[in-house]
Amino acid sequence: MSTYLCALGGAATLLALGACSPSTPDPSAAVIEAPAPLSAEGDFGATLQAALIAAKPGETILLPEGTFQLTDGLSLDVHGVTLRGAGQDRTILDFASQEGAGEGLLVTSDDVLLMDFAVRNTKGDGIKSKGADQIIYRYLTVEWTGGPDEANGAYGVYPVESKNVLVENVTVRAASDAGIYVGQSENIIVRNSVVEYNVAGIEIENSMNADVYGNIARNNTGGILVFDLPDLPVSGGNSTRIFDNEIIENNTRNFAPAGNIVASVPSGTGVIVMANRNVHVFDNNFDNNRSAHVLVMSYSLPFTDERYNPLPRDLVLRDNTYGAGGNDPQGDLAPLAAALGGQLPAIVWDGVDRWGEGEAQPVNLAVQEAPEVGFISFGLGQYPIEPAAMAPSTDRPAGTPAAEPAAIVLPHADR
């Protein structure tokens, strides 16, 4: 790479800076050696973008230690590249003065590993990967350092339309939509990560086969969301397991710009399952979520997509631990809770089982929790809400537990 770029000589000083300065003492000495980090001198954004464009498949690009101000979004479109910094708190790419692009870093190639760096204060999304199979996000931090704010970017870590997605040991703070959002993808693991002060901590949307475990979702508006939305190229989201997560104190005010689906998430919800099928929530610890620990609901807006089923189906809740919560329901839950005495139990279902002109359909909700864990259905029947039709019930539905999907295995996870 160096030789080629340097040959351009004065043609592109930008490039030359990046490629030439981290020179090894004797370029001819070894074919395989640890690459030197990119130079931190000069216009680092240009240096890094040039390196991302010139990278060869299989190459590792090392980022130096330091905080770097970037003025434009970065992008990577070469397969098999590793982009690695000096650490989540040592290599910081700050986009506070970003002038263009919809995200800080966009990856559109396969088999890419991103690790050990931070992305801050992007104008749009933090790191997005689209159509990027076998992507790994590892030991990354994405944050908006001013804390929750409507003007923050939407998603922190944002893989979409991809197969085999691994997100692990990342930290995301203050995204105005979801900290970690996986959309229209399949075969997904999100684990051992910390999401806090986001509107949604983790969101799995219109996706198939996801395992979400070992994460800490705290101080978000809603902790972990599993959604399916109409009118998208990929829909019919199903088969997600959410287990062994700490889902606590997700009581941050909802700061999502209106119009976005998460803008309707009531502050103080732990897990929300909406219009998705075969979702298993088990062995999690819920505590101090002021609206409800678990909210199960139908998609509530009108839609025209004929393939779409707005009901949650085949949901299993088992063996979770539930602390205090439901003591101060917010958002759309507030008026419903008010009609029931002002508080909500751990598990709340909207009780919607039909839409349009259709008949009621089986939702198959299986609640296998300790006997003292509270449950309520609002018995709404369908949207839009008609208060008169509300038929609340605390009887747990007697669903047959759907077979649990096998653990997700990602062939590239050990890379």
Partner 1 sequence: MSRLAHLAACLLLAACSAAGRDVQRPDLKVILAETPPPVLSDYGLFADVASAVPAEGVMPYDLINPLFTDHAAKHRLIFVPEGKAAQFDDTDVFSFPVGSVLVKTFAFAPDMRSPDEGAWRAETRLLIHKADGWAAYPYVWNEDQTDAVYAPAGQRLAIETVSPSGEPLKLRYSVPNQNQCKTCHQAGDDIAPIGPKARHLAHEGQLTRWVSAGTLEGVPDSVEAEPYAFDPSKPLGARARAWLDVNCAHCHKADGSASNSGLWLSATEESGARIGLLKHPVAAGRGSGGLAQVIVPGDPDASILLYRMASTEPGVAMPELGRSVNDPESLALIREWIGAMETP
**Which residues bind to partner 1, rule: CB under 8 A?**
4, 8-9, 11-12, 14-15, 46, 49-50, 52-54, 71-73, 75-77, 98-102, 106, 108, 122-125, 130-131, 150-155, 158, 160-161, 176-177, 181, 183-184, 229, 231-234, 257-261, 301-302, 304-305
The least CB distance from residue 195 to partner 1, in Å, is 16
| DSSP letter for each residue of 336-374 | HHHTTTS---SEEE--B---TTPPP----EEEE--TTS-
Closer Cβ to partner 1, 58 or 302, answer by number: 302
Residue 258 DSSP symbol = T
CB of 222 to partner 1, least distance (A): 16
Q: Which is nearer to partner 1, 99 or 319 (CB)?
A: 99
**Least separation, in Å, of the C-beta of 159 and partner 1?**
11
Residue 57 or 323 with smaller CB distance to partner 1: 57
Of 124 and 374, the one with the shorter C-beta distance to partner 1 is 124
* Residue 94 CB partners (closer than 8 Å, separation 6+): 67, 68, 69, 70, 120, 121
Give Cα 359 to chain centroid, integer Å: 34
Q: Which is nearer to partner 1, 4 or 361 (CB)?
A: 4
- Which runs of E-coded beta strand occur in 70-221? 72-76, 82-84, 91-94, 100-107, 113-120, 125-130, 135-143, 157-160, 163-168, 171-173, 178-183, 186-191, 194-196, 200-205, 208-213, 216-218
Residue 123 or residue 313: which is nearer to partner 1 going by CB? 123
**Could you tell me the sign of the dihedral formed by the alpha carbons of 37, 38, 44, 45, in that order?**
negative
Encode 84-102 in three state secondary structure: ECCCCCCEEEECCCCCEEE
For residue 390, the minimal CB distance to partner 1 (Å) is 25
Residue 46 Cβ vs partner 1, minimum distance, rounded to whole Å: 5
What minimum distance in Å lies between the beta carbon of 130 and partner 1?
7
* Alpha-carbon span 78 to 56, nearest angstrom: 7
CB of 48 or CB of 248, closer to partner 1? 48
Which value, in Å, is the radius of gyration of the alpha carbons in the chain?
A: 23
Count Cβ neighbours within 10 Å for each residue of 133-143 and write b for 16 or more, e otherwise: bbbbbbbbbbb
Determine contact, residues 210/204, Cβ cutoff 8 Å.
Answer: yes
CB of 258 to partner 1, least distance (A): 4
For partner 1, give the closer residue by CB, 5 or 136.
Answer: 5
- Quick check: 112 and 136 in contact, CB under 8 A? yes
CA atoms within 13 A on the CB side of 389: 11
Q: How far is the CB of 194 from partner 1 (least distance, A)?
A: 21
